[in-house]
Structure 1
Amino acid sequence: MKLALYIGTREPWYIGLGNLLVRLRLRSPISHCELVFEPDDDVRDLMPDGSADAAKTGALWCASSGATDPIPAWSKRRAGKAGGVRMKRINLGADKWELIDLPWADARAAAQWFRQHEGALYDWQGIFGFIAWPVPNKASRWSCHEACAAALGLAEPHRFDPASLAAAARWRLT
């Protein structure tokens, strides 16, 4: 399993503006994160289509919480609605994504966390609070970094942002 960090800068203006605000606040090129499941992670039965293989499309199964992504039809709740915890295939081009290996992580437990929370609402209150002012955390809503940290089993996932999650993942490698 890997942690994918979004460092791309070419998006539609409404997405790009949000990413820019996150980057400025963090003083980091990272604005979003995903957990990436690879074919050898032994999580095939937990993937929505029963496959972790990317051979045909080059896209790997990724899991996170996105503000604008539609919740897939196979989700138990909120299918078709925008924003929230989801799993989807993504082509992770080197020009837009930095990847960190997570040999210490339990891919199976992370995939199970995402399947159990799929469709949970996006944490708009938390993301705006993280950018602008301190706002109490809502335990039932998830931003990308909170979802990834929780799925990895890290304590107090609401205390992470994309850059600090990347730093924690790199630290675990040393």
Structure 2
Amino acid sequence: MRLALYKGKGRIGNAAIRWWTRSPYGHCELVIDGVAYSSSIMDSGVRAKRIEFDPEHWDFVDLPWASAALVKSTFASTQGDPYGWGDLFWRQVFNRPGDARGQFCSEWCARALGLPNPQQYSPATLGDYCTYRTRTCRTTSTTGAG
């Protein structure tokens, strides 16, 4: 399993997210066996689909510590939920409680990974966390610590 982080130009929503978060990433997906899971503006909410990932437009983080079963279970319980425009606006812009009627991409991915406070993650901060956790996982497995 891996986290895919979109760094392409994309549409206006991607540009706004990159600008607001001051990062190269405007979207994220969790990829399991070639299927991408996320909440997508373009697809109006939570969905799973096959995507041809062009490495020029995407960065990837391996997630050896993550549970594919948890991601699939989260998807099963949220499939078809609307995109979280309210959450994106209230939580990310004003740091206030959202509306719970949907989830934005990084919120959905963080929830599917079992992370606390999933609404606090942007694609960039989720990428940073996952990179750190994967690096830590690899370090402890090679040193025998932990």
TM-score of the pair, normalised by structure 2: 0.86
Q: SS at 1:68's partner residue?
A: coil
Query: 2:80 is paired with a residue of what secondary structure?
Result: coil
Q: Distance in 1 between matches of 2:48 and 2:105?
A: 12
Given candidates 46, 49, 59, the residue that maps to 1:88 is 49
- Secondary structure, aligned partner of 1:122: coil
Which residue among 105, 111, 121 is the counterpart of 1:144? 105
Identity of aligned residues (%): 40
Q: Where in structure 2 are there 5+ consecutive unaligned residues?
A: 137-146
**C-alpha contact 1:6 1:33 (8 A) present in aligned 2:** yes
- Specify the alignment match of 1:5 in structure 2: 5
- 1:134 partnered with 2:108: no
Give, as a single letter, the amino acid of the residue that structure 1 aligns with 2:97. P
SS in 2 for 1:170: helix
**What CA deviation, in whole Å up to 9, does each residue of 1:106-125 have, x standing for no partner?**
11111121122101111101
1:33 to 22, 28, 37: 28
SS at match of 1:91: coil
Structure 1: which 5+ runs fail to align?
39-59, 70-82
| RMSD over aligned Cα atoms | 1.4
Number of aligned residue pairs: give it.
Answer: 135
TM-score, structure 1 as length reference = 0.73
Indicate how the Cα distance of structure 1 residues 120 and 88 shifts in structure 2: closer, same or farther if over 3 A, else same.
same
Higher helix share: 2
Structure 2 partner of 1:162: 123
